[in-house]
Amino acid sequence: MDPMQMRPPEPNRPNLGMPGSRLGIIQLVATSLQSLWVCRDDALRLGVVPMVIYFAAMLYGRPAALAVMNALENGSVDVARSVGGDLLLSGLIAIFSFALLAVNWLRFLLLGPQKASGLGLHLNRAHLQYVLGVIALGFAALLGLSLLSLPVQFLPPFLARIGLWVAALIVGLTVIRLSLALVAIAIGQPIGLRQVWEASRGQSFVLLIAFVLAQIPFMLVVMILGVIAGVTGLADAAPYSLLLLGCICQIAATMAQTGVLAAAYRRLIGVRA
């Protein structure tokens, strides 16, 4: 059952359409943000555990990250190598927290509240497959970006910068389409990459732009809080409080972006009963 039927509907909620229909940028973003607001109680219960895990990962990796930044400013690489393990572990924990969040939120939006009950701690094969899929897709993206960047090195500096942006755009457009396969894994209805690729044909820019736009409101909140904290001295007096607020905003942004993928999946591919 659609989770939106379990709640009072928004007066101007966009029509999700039928599988195979065209996507709209504003429609995807509006659907995601409205779902997040209407189902905010469920978003809170499903987001609290991933937020705690993510915050713990950031706390653990913060000293290593500061050491790397200081080392890079001083032109040293020894420190960066010595804390690489801490950064890697922190990153893996963060990936797990986002995967837990994304799978539960996707199941809630596409399958209904009964498929994401409690705090979302009923881990199953879908969570593991999703984590492995995210890591594999991230590795493929880095590899693709590296290969596309090789010929760019031989261009003049100005053209090289443009070439890097073009390469990053190509990789981003590819990844956002293949991400729909992760949605299928999360809801236990896996499909092939070819089917995902064909279903999302002509929708790359719409998906990528909507995915980025869904995060902007929360990033603006982080920026405003950072400015206020810097002016008032809160950043120095209570750095961990600011870090916590940043983690909360990032979790909310991730749920909004996940909602974009869920809305796109419903319209392009559809959910089996």
DSSP letters, 10-38, are: PTTPPP---TTPPP-HHHHHHHHHHHHHH
State how far the Cα of 173 lies from the Cα of 180, in Å rounded to an integer. Answer: 12
Say what the pLDDT of residue 187 is: 93
Indicate whether 5 belongs to any domain: no
Quick one: which of 133, 139, 205 has its CA closest to 174? 205
Indicate whether 166 belongs to any domain: yes
Long-range CB pairs of 12-15, under 8 A, 24+ apart, other chains included: none
State how far the Cα of 101 lies from the Cα of 108, in Å rounded to an integer. Answer: 11
Say what the pLDDT of residue 145 is: 92
Number of domains in the chain: 1
3-state helix, strand, coil in the chain (%, to 5): 80, 0, 20
pLDDT (tens place) for every residue of the chain, 273 residues total? 444 444 433 333 333 445 556 788 999 999 999 999 999 999 999 999 999 999 999 998 888 777 777 766 666 656 556 677 888 899 999 999 999 999 999 999 999 998 888 888 888 888 999 999 999 999 999 999 999 988 888 888 888 899 999 999 999 999 999 999 999 999 999 999 999 999 999 999 999 999 999 999 999 999 998 888 888 877 777 778 888 999 999 999 999 999 999 999 999 998 887
Say what the pLDDT of residue 20 is: 53
Say what the pLDDT of residue 129 is: 92
Question: Which amino acid does the sequence have at 138?
Answer: G
Indicate whether 100 belongs to any domain: yes
Indicate whether 125 belongs to any domain: yes
Q: Residue 34 belongs to what domain range?
A: 21-268
Indicate whether 66 belongs to any domain: yes
Say what the pLDDT of residue 19 is: 55
Say what the pLDDT of residue 141 is: 94
pTM attached to this predicted model: 0.84
Phi first, then psi, for residue 77 (nearest 5°) are: -115, -10
Indicate whether 123 belongs to any domain: yes
Indicate whether 13 belongs to any domain: no
Say what the pLDDT of residue 239 is: 79
Indicate whether 8 belongs to any domain: no
Radius of gyration of the chain (CA): 20
State how far the Cα of 165 lies from the Cα of 150, in Å rounded to an integer. Answer: 13
76: left (phi over 0), alpha (psi -120 to 50) or beta: beta
Cβ–Cβ < 8 Å for 261, 180: yes
**How many residues make up the chain in this entry?**
273
Cβ–Cβ < 8 Å for 138, 103: no
